[in-house]
Amino acid sequence: MLRKIPDYGGLFRVWCIVKLKGGENWTPIKDALIDTGAHTTIIPSSLSEQIEKEVLGDHSVKGLVAKEECALPVKVAWVWINIVDREGNETGELKIRAYLASTDEVPLIIGFKDLLEKFKLFVDVPERTGYIEKENTVMMPTRFT
């Protein structure tokens, strides 16, 4: 895009760190993309194999291109997640619906359903800062790219 429109500027992404419940333990922390355009959290295949889940059914996810060959097959499941920050603040264990991807060709994406809809999300693009707020506890995302 920059070659076609030089003043277009770069992409802006907000990242956080999460842990997912894997039986008795939690996974090591993982980087996750906060996607304000994503309805539901998406978990890559290799990570979904490590976590506790209650599968609800099969589905497919389509993006901007509605062609069937572009659809991503997923399982819809209940999973348990905890957003954390570098200062040690945590959301605590949250049960959310998520799409379990059939591939690792997708990043770990945090969507709104059952998760972001419970928090206030603040993003200041010019300052490259942001945070989520839960019951007056401010949690800083790990980085902005």
pLDDT of res. 22: 95
Cα–Cα distance list, 112 to 41, 50, 97, 102, 124 (Å): 7, 23, 10, 21, 19
* pLDDT tens for the 145 residues of the chain, in order: 678 888 887 778 889 999 999 988 999 999 999 998 899 999 999 999 999 999 999 999 887 777 887 789 999 999 999 999 888 888 899 999 999 999 999 999 999 888 888 888 888 888 888 888 877 777 776 666 6
CB 90 within 8 A of CB 16: no
pLDDT of res. 107: 95
**Structural domains present in the chain:** 19-144 (2.40.70)
pLDDT of res. 10: 73
pLDDT of res. 139: 74
pTM of the model as a whole: 0.88
